[in-house]
Amino acid sequence: MSDDLRSDARDIVSNIISGVDPFSCVLRAVSREGDRLNVGADSFDISSYENIYLVAFGKASVAMSKALEEILGDDLSGGCAVTKYGFGGSLKKVNIMEAGHPIPDKNGVIAAECIRDLLEKTGSKDLVFFLISGGGSALMTLPRKGISLSDFISLTNKLMRVGATIDEINTIRKHLSAVKGGGLAKMAYPSESISLILSDVVGDPLDVISSGPTVPDRSTFEDFQQIVEKYDLKLSPAVEGLVEDGLEGVVEDTPKSEGPVFERCHHYLVGNNSLALHEAEKRAKELGYNTLVLTSSLVGEASEIARVFAAIAREERKESRPLSPPACILAGGETTVRIKGKGKGGRCQEMALSFALETRGLENILFVPAATDGNDGPTDAAGAFADGYSLEKSKNVHIDAKALLRQNNSYEFFREIGDLLITGPTGTNVMDVYILLIG
Ligand SMILES: Nc1ncnc2c1ncn2[C@@H]1O[C@H](COP(=O)(O)OP(=O)(O)O)[C@@H](O)[C@H]1O
Ligand SMILES: O=C(O)[C@@H](CO)OP(=O)(O)O
Ligand SMILES: [Mg+2]
């Protein structure tokens, strides 16, 4: 343990990011001996296919594709990949595109069309690798007939502001899309496919991560309607018409069961938030901390979850429980924020600000919530450092912490006191991690 909790926290964060590096995650899951490709517990003979293609979408597309290019070498015929602006890179045989996230844009439609065109030329003698990571829902957008890109943009915007969960957001997106909710599996049929999936959703549900384009979908038009009612969403006439048709059975729902379309689809999880927590705990132990991992499935309103961490910090300082110091208490997951103000921030920065408000004056503690993709909300920060002195610092620069929290302006708070956590785009994405250090 160093004298400086911040430098330990930085060290733990960088170990998390390298531990869930998608390149290594793919190499751990896929190995090659001659023409035999071992994936998880299965084995494939790559000489039995005419062509092998790669289709990648999500924030981890570049590193995942690089790993597969390395494994397949000249056996890879080509491919298409899409990732978020700033997450790009160069690949040998794969055309890599960048598009808008979390709100989709025209480039996400161009990318989806490119993927569709590639899949439509595949046949039963071909093998397609789908490299799937979080972010794919926005990055690969192909609206269903009659639905427009602006329908997607306005609904995504609304759902994110009301604090809908990713499960709810993707239920809506899947039903408006031709590629999500099993859509790519339909396009790739009858070729064989292998999906390698980096999870950024609590519980690793394959039909929610990146809107499950290669798996049967569990959500229905009825679920869609319930979400509309729950958040009182105003729909465009086109979307309203689609839902009505869907509820009446005039329009087919997303594919539900393991029909012929999915018979030759194989799915493997290559990394998730648990792996990130494991890496964090390992490093914290090496640094000399007593460690405790609470959960990898934390959900709920960000500012309220932060109050739980503040209560744990106070308990640690007063009673040295649940761990004797130096202690590192870890959790992971994805909170939500009901946005009421006009400020700038993200889930992690909102948590950090709420924690700071609850722990004023508490000594020798540090809370660092961090988005593993390096972008917390629409900001260039991954998260923030919050401690017992955050509020003192804010007084010195004449900003009002409570007012900034009310305005969801956590970015400004931490920028002003110089305590943003900046990593840059990390090229990976396994939700958020929450690190509480007690010195
Ligand atoms: N001002 C804000 N304060 C707090 N959270 C915000 C703010 N603006 C947007 N968000 C949240 O940021 C989320 C999108 O951020 P992003 O980090 O891109 O998510 P993900 O990593 O899951 O793709 C939205 O769910 C939204 O609730
Ligand atoms: O693409 C998506 O559907 C989600 C979940 O996988 O990712 P993100 O929250 O990063 O947009
Ligand atoms: Mg997410």
Q: What tens digit of pLDDT does each residue of 345-362 get?
A: 999 999 999 999 999 999
* pLDDT value at 306 more than 90: yes
Cβ atoms 276, 283 nearer than 8 A: no
Instruction: Evaluate: CB of 137 within 6 angstroms of ligand 1.
Output: no
Cβ atoms 200, 429 nearer than 8 A: yes
Question: Residue 374 has what DSSP assignment?
Answer: S
| CATH number of residue 41's parent domain | 3.40.50.10180
What's the average model confidence in pLDDT over 14-18? 97
pLDDT band at 9 (very low <50, low <70, confident <90, very high): very high
Q: Are residues 117 and 221 in the same domain?
A: yes
Mutate to test the pocket of ligand 2, among 103, 105, 166 (most ligand atoms within 8 A of CB): 166
Single out the residue of 333, 357, 348 nearest to residue 406, CA to CA.
357
Mutate to test the pocket of ligand 2, among 137, 165, 177, 197 (most ligand atoms within 8 A of CB): 137
Instruction: Evaluate: CB of 345 within 6 angstroms of ligand 1.
Output: yes
Give the ligand 1 atom nearest the CA of 102.
Answer: 18
CA dihedral defined by 244, 247, 250, 253, rounded to 10 degrees? 120
Q: Report the pocket of ligand 2 as residue ranges, CB < 6 Å.
A: 102, 134-138, 166, 170, 200-201, 209-211, 429
The rounded distance, in Å, linking the Cα atoms of 23 and 44 is 20
**C-alpha separations of 45 from 28, 35, 37, 50 in Å:** 19, 6, 6, 11
- Residue 99 in any domain: the answer is yes
What's the average model confidence in pLDDT over 92-107? 96
The model's pLDDT over 42-92, given as tens digits with 9 standing for 90+, comes to 999 999 999 999 999 999 999 999 999 999 999 999 999 999 999 999 999
Position 3 scores a pLDDT of 74
- Residue 128 in any domain: the answer is yes
What's the average model confidence in pLDDT over 206-212? 98
How are the residues of the chain apportioned to helix, strand and coil, as percentages rounded to the nearest 5? 40, 20, 40
Q: Are residues 412 and 292 in the same domain?
A: yes
User: DSSP letter string over 275-307?
Assistant: HHHHHHHHHHHHTT-EEEE--S-B-SBHHHHHH
**Residue 226 tokens, joined:** 């319930």
The model's pLDDT over 109-157, given as tens digits with 9 standing for 90+, comes to 999 999 999 999 999 999 999 999 999 999 999 999 999 999 999 999 9
- φ and ψ at residue 177, rounded to 5 degrees: -120, 155
Q: Are residues 61 and 206 in the same domain?
A: yes
Q: Are residues 252 and 279 in the same domain?
A: no
Q: Percentage of the chain with pLDDT > 70?
A: 100
Q: Are residues 388 and 408 in the same domain?
A: yes
Number of residues assigned to the chain: 439
Give the ligand 2 atom nearest the CA of 429.
Answer: 10
The rounded distance, in Å, linking the Cα atoms of 434 and 371 is 9
Between CA 181 and CA 137, with CA 255 as vertex, the angle to 5 degrees is 5
- 430 Cα–ligand 2 center, Å: 10
- 201 Cα–ligand 3 center, Å: 7
The model's pLDDT over 401-433, given as tens digits with 9 standing for 90+, comes to 999 999 999 999 999 999 999 999 999 999 999
pLDDT band at 170 (very low <50, low <70, confident <90, very high): very high
Q: Please tell me the pTM assigned to this model.
A: 0.96
- Residue 17 in any domain: the answer is no
Longest dimension (CA), the chain: 69
Question: Going by CA atoms, what residue is nearest to atom 4 of ligand 1?
Answer: 346
Domain range holding 360? 5-10+274-438
Q: Are residues 104 and 213 in the same domain?
A: yes
- Residue 39 in any domain: the answer is yes
- Residue 23 in any domain: the answer is no
Single out the residue of 376, 305, 372, 367 nearest to residue 347, CA to CA.
376
Single out the residue of 101, 96, 78 nearest to residue 373, CA to CA.
101
Mutate to test the pocket of ligand 1, among 139, 160, 406 (most ligand atoms within 8 A of CB): 160
The rounded distance, in Å, linking the Cα atoms of 302 and 160 is 13
- Residue 20 in any domain: the answer is no
Nearest ligand to the C-alpha atom of residue 160: 1
Cβ atoms 115, 141 nearer than 8 A: no
Q: Are residues 112 and 68 in the same domain?
A: yes
Among 253, 271, 289, residue at a domain's last position: 271
* pLDDT value at 166 more than 80: yes
Q: Are residues 294 and 414 in the same domain?
A: yes
The rounded distance, in Å, linking the Cα atoms of 225 and 321 is 46
Strands in 110-221 per DSSP E: 127-133, 192-198
Nearest ligand to the C-alpha atom of residue 164: 1
The rounded distance, in Å, linking the Cα atoms of 176 and 150 is 12
Position 120 scores a pLDDT of 95
On the CB side of 253, CA atoms within 13 Å amount to: 17
The rounded distance, in Å, linking the Cα atoms of 326 and 286 is 12
Position 1 scores a pLDDT of 73
| CATH number of residue 362's parent domain | 3.40.1480.10
Instruction: Evaluate: CB of 337 within 6 angstroms of ligand 1.
Output: yes
Cβ atoms 402, 390 nearer than 8 A: no
The rounded distance, in Å, linking the Cα atoms of 65 and 378 is 25
- Residue 26 in any domain: the answer is no
- Residue 321 in any domain: the answer is yes
Q: Are residues 252 and 323 in the same domain?
A: no
Question: Residue 103 has what DSSP assignment?
Answer: S
The model's pLDDT over 211-268, given as tens digits with 9 standing for 90+, comes to 999 999 999 999 999 999 999 999 999 999 999 999 999 999 999 876 789 999 999 9
Domain count, the chain: 2
Mutate to test the pocket of ligand 1, among 137, 347, 429 (most ligand atoms within 8 A of CB): 347
Among 245, 271, 297, residue at a domain's last position: 271
Question: Going by CA atoms, what residue is nearest to atom 25 of ligand 1?
Answer: 160
Report cis status (omega within 30 of 0) of the bond before 322.
yes
Question: Going by CA atoms, what residue is nearest to atom 8 of ligand 2?
Answer: 135
The three-class DSSP label of residue 392 is: helix
Q: Are residues 267 and 300 in the same domain?
A: no
- 121 Cα–ligand 1 center, Å: 37
Interface pTM (ipTM) of the complex? 0.97
Position 61 scores a pLDDT of 98
Give the ligand 2 atom nearest the CA of 137.
Answer: 1
Among 247, 271, 295, residue at a domain's last position: 271
Question: Residue 261 has what DSSP assignment?
Answer: G
* pLDDT value at 282 more than 80: yes
Q: Are residues 208 and 301 in the same domain?
A: no
The residue behind tokens 């005039």 is 250
Q: Are residues 131 and 193 in the same domain?
A: yes
Position 2 scores a pLDDT of 73
The rounded distance, in Å, linking the Cα atoms of 383 and 350 is 9
